[in-house]
């Protein structure tokens, strides 16, 4: 069966399965939501890292045994909403629009509580990274950006001003609450979380910059446009001479190097900024980065590499991000249709279960055949919906 006939029913099944779970599921880094691990390992940086990494790396899903609850993840909800809006655009079916708007209301209901300067969202679990620790629901830039992208798309589709106002509120959070890590006439780098930190996570600033640029374009309020340009300019300046980005600046601050999905995040955000700002001065950076992504982070059969220098595991998030990034590229005239279809075909053949769920990872010797709702289904629903839209461009 051709992908064009095969993917629509898969999209229907994936959404139905996820909705049946009430969009609640386990998360990649949610080990500290276990009362047991929180009690014994939740007291310091390295024990917390051990707890999170042990749960994440286990060959099977041990979360039920540890009492980890299924939760609503705002990023996952944002991905579902964006995908449903794509499906509405592609098919004209208003059912998708109704479902998307219901999810957007859920997102408004679960905004992070506290004395923040504006709208913001965070992960539903305590999270220890190398550079910081955040309690559950502490807002962060990346989750808030993906949620904002859903609201921006909703405004474009419906014209409802409330959706644009939500994004305008989030900009206050970005610009007032996040730590400023670099501030020059040409570059602005903001921290991941609203707390003291030194780690410069590269994709954070460009995700924020893309959201702000789109808001400026749609609202005709250019007050923050120069900040958007500096945020994007900082990330562009970090591109290597061979077209890649490290996860952090400096690179040694993280074990992650040139990985799959963060590369896709940066490329998509760069395009969104250029399109919104009508500023194509960094188009060659985009094209060089896109070529690196295609050549070094995917194999010839469409399987996603873990990093440019490490093949396994083939993670479902990498497949989904490839679908999103190359669908955008194809829609804008770049010749990546063959790779795009190979990515879709590989993911369906290797990671899809007919019940309507996607597996987590395929390793060299075995596959982790469990589903983390946001990491697996939300991302693949978003990726396959982007593939569907690309057919009409």
Q: Are residues 63 and 173 in the same domain?
A: no
Q: Are residues 355 and 340 in the same domain?
A: yes
State the pLDDT at residue 374: 98
Q: Are residues 151 and 283 in the same domain?
A: yes
Q: Are residues 50 and 151 in the same domain?
A: no
Q: Are residues 159 and 47 in the same domain?
A: no
Alpha carbons within 13 angstroms on the beta-carbon side of residue 361 total 18
The token pair that represents 81 in the structure block: 């909403």
Phi/psi at 363 (5° precision)? -90, -175
Distance CA 301, CA 338 (A): 10
Could you tell me the CA-to-CA distances from 8 to 11, 279, 356, 386 in Å, in that order? Answer: 5, 35, 12, 12
Q: Are residues 36 and 23 in the same domain?
A: no
Q: Are residues 100 and 232 in the same domain?
A: yes
Asked if residue 196 lies in contact with residue 244, where contact means CB atoms within 8 angstroms, the answer is no
Q: Are residues 54 and 191 in the same domain?
A: no
Q: Are residues 119 and 63 in the same domain?
A: no
Q: Are residues 121 and 177 in the same domain?
A: yes
State the pLDDT at residue 1: 67
pLDDT in tens, the chain (393 residues): 689 999 999 999 999 999 999 999 999 999 999 999 999 999 999 999 999 999 999 999 999 999 999 999 999 999 999 999 999 999 999 999 999 999 999 999 999 999 999 999 999 999 998 888 999 999 999 999 999 999 999 999 999 999 999 999 999 999 999 999 999 999 999 999 999 999 999 999 999 999 999 999 999 999 999 999 999 999 999 999 999 999 999 999 998 999 999 999 999 999 999 999 999 999 999 999 999 999 999 999 999 999 999 999 999 999 999 999 999 999 999 999 999 999 999 999 999 999 999 999 999 999 999 999 999 999 999 999 999 999 876
State the pLDDT at residue 393: 65
CA 10 to chain centre: 21
The residue out of 67, 90, 122 marking a domain boundary is 67
State the pLDDT at residue 220: 92
Q: In the chain, which ranges are continuous DSSP H helix?
A: 3-20, 35-41, 45-57, 63-66, 74-91, 94-109, 141-158, 161-177, 202-219, 225-237, 260-277, 283-296, 316-331, 337-351, 379-390
pTM value > 0.95: yes
Q: Are residues 185 and 221 in the same domain?
A: yes
How far the first Cα of the chain sits from its last, in Å, is 22
The residue out of 13, 46, 67 marking a domain boundary is 67
The SS3 assignment for 199 reads coil
CB atoms within 10 A of CB 363: 13
The answer for 22, left when phi > 0, alpha when psi is -120 to 50, beta otherwise, is left
The token pair that represents 198 in the structure block: 């030194």
State the pLDDT at residue 132: 85
Quote the domain boundaries for residue 234.
3-29+72-390
Q: Are residues 18 and 78 in the same domain?
A: yes
Q: How many domains does the chain have?
A: 2
Which residue do the tokens 């913001």 mark?
Answer: 120
For residue 126, the domain's CATH number is 1.50.10.10
């Amino acid at each position: 069966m051709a992908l064009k006939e095969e993917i629509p029913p898969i999209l229907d099944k994936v959404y139905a399965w996820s909705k049946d779970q009430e969009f609640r599921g386990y998360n990649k880094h949610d080990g500290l939501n276990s009362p047991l691990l929180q009690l014994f390992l939740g007291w310091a940086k390295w024990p917390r890292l051990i707890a999170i990494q042990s749960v994440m790396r286990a060959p099977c899903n041990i979360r039920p045994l540890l009492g980890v609850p299924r939760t609503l993840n705002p990023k996952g909800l944002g991905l579902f909403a964006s995908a449903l809006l794509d499906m509405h655009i592609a098919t004209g079916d208003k059912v998708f629009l109704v479902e998307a708007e219901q999810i957007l209301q859920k997102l408004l209901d679960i905004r992070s509580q506290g004395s923040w300067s504006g709208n913001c969202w965070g992960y539903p679990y305590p999270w220890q990274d190398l550079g910081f620790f955040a309690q559950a629901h502490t807002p962060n830039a990346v989750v808030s950006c993906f949620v904002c992208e859903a609201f921006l798309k909703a405004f474009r589709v419906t014209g409802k001003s409330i959706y644009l106002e939500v994004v305008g509120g989030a900009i206050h959070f970005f610009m007032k609450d996040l730590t400023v890590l670099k501030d020059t006439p040409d570059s602005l780098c903001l921290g991941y979380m609203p707390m003291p930190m030194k780690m410069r996570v590269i994709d954070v600033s460009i995700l924020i910059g893309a959201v702000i640029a789109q808001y400026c374009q749609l609202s005709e309020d250019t007050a923050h446009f120069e900040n958007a340009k500096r945020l994007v300019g900082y990330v562009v300046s970090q591109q290597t001479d061979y077209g890649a980005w490290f996860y952090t600046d400096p690179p040694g601050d993280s074990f992650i190097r040139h990985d799959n999905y963060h590369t896709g995040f940066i490329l998509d955000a760069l395009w969104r900024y250029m399109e919104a700002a009508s500023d194509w001065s960094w188009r060659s950076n985009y094209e060089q980065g896109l070529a690196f992504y295609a050549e070094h982070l995917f194999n010839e059969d469409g399987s996603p590499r873990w990093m440019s220098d490490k093949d396994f595991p083939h993670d479902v998030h990498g497949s989904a991000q490839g679908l999103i990034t190359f669908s955008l590229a194809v829609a804008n005239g770049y010749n990546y249709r063959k790779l795009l279809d190979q990515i879709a075909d590989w993911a369906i053949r290797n990671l899809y279960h007919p019940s309507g769920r996607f597996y987590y990872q395929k390793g060299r010797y075995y596959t982790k055949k469990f589903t983390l709702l946001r990491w697996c289904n939300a991302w693949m629903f978003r990726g396959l919906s982007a593939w569907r839209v690309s057919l009409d461009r």
